[in-house]
Structure 1
């Protein structure tokens, strides 16, 4: 094999390796299009809902390797149920005890793919100083080129049901049910 053919072969191999191995991409959570909400039955009848207005974090995705990392932080004092009196009760020691535990986090290094799309994220939810492994199921996950930002944005709706007593939130049990539906609607901007 002559030198030109050998150089060409190595260049083709190097180019192919570069194409086959995409680099991890980091996305910053867009707080204006990201919402952390919860739903809980009130005495087994109507559903109480609330959200946390302040959140931040990042998501790193390597689509070629089918891996990723997620790090989300929630300001617990930013709880918003739509009613000030209920907000204050939720902030109290009965529920989120925001004075002692001002922040909640979700951290993951296990992102599950089905084909090219994320189908679930398994990670650690820390709430009231206690940590539990939770699986967030992905719904409507996808990426698009944002025409205003001129950058790629990825997002979807992720949900799970947690047992609040596992985090030490026992107020009202058993009359107020233990299960809480948690939904994280997230969009994150490529950095």
Structure 2
């Protein structure tokens, strides 16, 4: 009699496990920011952000899997200084007229136990795609009391070599090739 309970229990667990599905989330633009930092002649750090972004997340907490697709409008670069914004949008740097979007598409979520440690993926900028891993410095899901929905999000960072994307402006003058990306993302369950 005990042997017949084991297969029944296994089937029940399999049925419950198959019901676990990835949930879909929409990026909340009010709580999602893409910022960057790059050194300026070893003296200070230039910073900026992109004001327009959109995307979606698929996340299965139980299976520890997910997908992220984020598109960032390169014309929305904002440093707080108009002339600098225009220079960043120019063909010398982001070439926003020719390449109005940069995208990040994940390939894998990586966990240590229950903690999300990073999201590996591919960043496309100026028509060139390179692997980028966004390290999670914060990650959590919570029930938003105002929206009455689950929200998941965190803080992520990576350092990229801009020359891999063809952004070579100022290298001969001593501008660094490494750019630090800081991504804050919150996404609302749909």
* Same fold at TM > 0.5: yes
Partner SS state of residue 133, structure 1: strand
Which residue number in structure 2 is paired with residue 177 of structure 1? 176
Q: Distance in 2 between matches of 1:29 and 1:116?
A: 22
Which residue number in structure 2 is paired with residue 33 of structure 1? 31
Check the 8 A contact 1:71/1:105 in 2, yes or no.
yes
Partner SS state of residue 90, structure 1: helix
Give the C-alpha shift of residue 140 in structure 1. Answer: 1.2
Specify whether residues 11 and 148 from structure 1 end up closer, same or farther in structure 2 by C-alpha distance, changes over 3 A only: farther
Which residue number in structure 1 is paired with residue 129 of structure 2? 131
Q: List aligned pairs for 1:79-94, cutoff 5 A.
A: 79-94=77-92
Structure 2 unpaired stretches of 5+:
none
Q: Distance in 1 between matches of 2:15 and 2:110?
A: 23
Q: Distance in 2 between matches of 1:82 and 1:18?
A: 54
Q: Distance in 2 between matches of 1:19 and 1:118?
A: 24
Q: List aligned pairs for 1:135-150, cutoff 5 A.
A: 135-150=133-148
Structure 1 unpaired stretches of 5+:
none
1:8-39, Cα deviation, whole Å (9 max, x unpaired): 98775454334445211111110000000000
Structure 2 length-normalised TM: 0.92
Please give the root-mean-square deviation of Cα atoms over the aligned residues, in Å: 1.7
> Given the alignment of the two structures, is residue 101 of structure 1 paired with residue 111 of structure 2, yes or no?
no
Which residue number in structure 1 is paired with residue 188 of structure 2? 189
Q: Distance in 2 between matches of 1:118 and 1:24?
A: 16
Q: How many residues align?
A: 186
Q: List aligned pairs for 1:55-66, cutoff 5 A.
A: 55-66=53-64
Q: List aligned pairs for 1:62-73, cutoff 5 A.
A: 62-73=60-71
1:162 to 157, 160, 163: 160
> Given the alignment of the two structures, is residue 51 of structure 1 paired with residue 70 of structure 2, yes or no?
no
